[in-house]
Structure 1
Amino acid sequence: MDIVLYLSGTWGIPMLTPLTQLTKNSFLRRGLYGLLAAVMAITIGLATPTASQAGIFDLIFQGIRYVQLGNLSDQDEVNLGGQIDRQLKAQAGVRVYNRNSGVSAYINEIGQRLATNSDRPNIPYTFQVVDDDGVNAFATAGGFVYIQTGLIKAAANEAELAGVMAHEIGHITGRHAIGQMRQQALASGVAGALEVRQDALVNIGVQLALQLPNSREAEYDADRRGFNNLGRAGYDTRGFITFMQKLEGGSSAEFLSSHPNPGNRVSNLQSMNSAGTYPNNGVGTDANAYRNRIRGL
């Protein structure tokens, strides 16, 4: 009696194969079993994708890539940040400073020291000097931090500059950009409950980096994270406070438009400093040494 094996084809059409025909050739039989296993694995893989199996840029439907907002790994976030970084430079007019490689190396040196002591030391950080006289700094997802030349010049010493950079790292460790992008995507109707088109999310990320201010809660959280980061890295935490006081007394700092409520924030920083968690031994407060490092900027 022939035993008939029913195999569902890739298009859902039943295929009938008498097993007696295969007993004449064991090699053919093993080949068919291998084919059966492969087809079943492919069918199962296509029919039951899960968030753990699919990466952020692997969900492709009709040529459009989607980002899973609810399942964003560190590597996914770094990839997204890289896309935003390229868009900032290509279309948003962000110009990387390249006239003095020593200054860029110095900023990266400070940044990496802070990153090692941050709340998320296991992701790569990219610190870039932006050729812009405005007193500003900003960050986007995945470890990308931008410091404008105007802010570097406005800082009196390394501790002041490091305080601002630690604050921007605080936005990254707190995943504030991801939260804002999710909110903007849902509010603008370009996202479903869990997914949003990659290109739309990148555009939102560019807009957030350059135009939209962070929330008050995000600023306070980044201040707290930045203050502790600064202290763990060995800097005098008073540098962060003196720079914020300087911004509070100024009238042209772009930093204030994207980082609101400076007065309350200074008070909060002073309260944290009063706790005496860090020694405040003057590390990073040598103004002459700082000026020598940024000479030629």
Structure 2
Amino acid sequence: MIAWQAFLTNYRLWRRRWFYPLISLVVALSVCLSAPLPGRAFDLLPLLFQGVQIFQLSNISDRQEVDLGKEMNQQLSSEVRLYRNPEVNRYVEQIGRRLAASSDRPNLPYTFQVVQDDSINAFATLGGYVYVHTGLLKTADNEAELASVLAHEIGHIGGKHLVKQMQQKALESGLLTAAGLDRNTAVSIGMQLVRDLPRSRKNEFDADQRGLKTLSRTGYAQSGMVSFMNKLLGKGSTPAFLSTHPATGDRIDALKRAISSQPTNGRDGLDNSIYKTNTRALRS
């Protein structure tokens, strides 16, 4: 009798444990397969059976974002020429990691890479991947100015700006389905956006403010961000870094106001001679 009662109790617990999750899965699949889909038909079950990874960009996890960023990095590695000097790469990596630790998303496995290109440019993709051109490294006069650029790009990652752009692009193109995006489509859209370097006024202001906070928390001089932007505006032709970044003058004014309202004692990175020593390989 006792054994029979124990069996019934265990059976009820087992049924409760598996019944409701099973019902939830069936309902979720029914919604995905029956919901009206924009642009093109989407059959989820074949993709599931093929092992295709589906990304829901509206609530993408850090792990999924890093996974997409890794694949984008592999494609970019065949499109850009990475600068291989170990001293310069270690220096940039050191600055980047110092900033990332004080950023909005410090738990991402950040990767900082130097691109051998004389244009003054820097960009970020997904999951902590940041790229800076040798032309920009040569243009900066000190570590605080370089750190301000890296902090700005980290700010884009903190705000998930590229993820949001990818979602909007997929929606406009009719590629976003009720289930989300498959891996290849997501990477393709991300790469297209990175190549085109689209910049919205809202995202740039947000990345500036996030970057300034990161710069301040890390102890770098806030003036580095303003001085670097002013330096670029003073050049005869518009650098790539600014040509895709709208309203630069307004951004500088906004940064000055933010610095005035929340000044810090940070003075790190203003020694020009130390910076030149650490980047001397670029000038040899």
TM-score (ref. length: structure 1) = 0.78
**% of aligned pairs identical?**
47
**CA shift at 1:133, angstroms?**
0.8
Aligned-partner residue type, residue 269 of structure 1: L
What are the Cα deviations for residues 148-201 of structure 1, in whole angstroms up to 9, with x where unaligned? Answer: 110000001000000000000000000001000000011111111450121111
Aligned-partner residue type, residue 142 of structure 2: N
Aligned-residue CA RMSD (Å): 2.4
Higher-helix-fraction structure: 2
Q: In the alignment, what sits opposite 2:58? A: 70
CA distance in 1, matches of 2:57, 2:178: 8
Higher-strand-fraction structure: 1
Aligned-partner residue type, residue 181 of structure 1: M
Of the three residues 243, 260, 272, the one matched with 2:258 is 272
**CA shift at 1:45, angstroms?**
8.9
**CA shift at 1:280, angstroms?**
4.3
Q: In the alignment, what sits opposite 1:145? A: 130
- Give yes or no for contact 2:161–2:203 (8 Å, CA) kept in 1: yes
CA distance in 2, matches of 1:194, 1:226: 34
- Give yes or no for contact 2:58–2:167 (8 Å, CA) kept in 1: no
- Give yes or no for contact 1:59–1:65 (8 Å, CA) kept in 2: no
Larger radius of gyration: 1
The alpha-carbon distance between structure 1 residues 230 and 43, as it changes in their structure 2 partners (threshold 3 A), is closer
Stretch of structure 1 that moved more, 193-202 or 216-225: 193-202
CA distance in 1, matches of 2:114, 2:159: 22
- Give yes or no for contact 1:184–1:204 (8 Å, CA) kept in 2: yes
Stretches (4+) displaced over 6 A? 40-46
Aligned-partner residue type, residue 238 of structure 1: S
CA distance in 2, matches of 1:167, 1:117: 13
SS at match of 2:165: helix
What are the Cα deviations for residues 24-45 of structure 1, in whole angstroms up to 9, with x where unaligned? Answer: xxxxxxxxx9xx99xx889779
User: Within 5 A, what are the aligned runs for 1:2-151?
Assistant: 47=26, 60-61=47-48, 63=50, 64-90=52-78, 93-98=79-84, 100-151=85-136
What are the Cα deviations for residues 238-285 of structure 1, in whole angstroms up to 9, with x where unaligned? Answer: 01100011112221410012222211101111111112431243x101
Aligned-partner residue type, residue 156 of structure 1: D
Of the three residues 247, 256, 260, the one matched with 1:261 is 247
CA distance in 1, matches of 2:263, 2:46: 46
SS at match of 1:121: coil
Q: What is the number of residues matched between the two proteins?
A: 250
Stretch of structure 1 that moved more, 259-268 or 60-69: 60-69
Stretch of structure 1 that moved more, 250-259 or 223-232: 250-259
Of the three residues 229, 232, 256, the one matched with 2:214 is 229
CA distance in 1, matches of 2:179, 2:153: 27
* Structure ranking higher on relative contact order (CA contacts 8 Å, 6+ apart): 2
Q: In the alignment, what sits opposite 1:22? A: none
Of the three residues 229, 232, 235, the one matched with 1:247 is 232
- Give yes or no for contact 1:59–1:66 (8 Å, CA) kept in 2: no
Aligned-partner residue type, residue 152 of structure 1: L
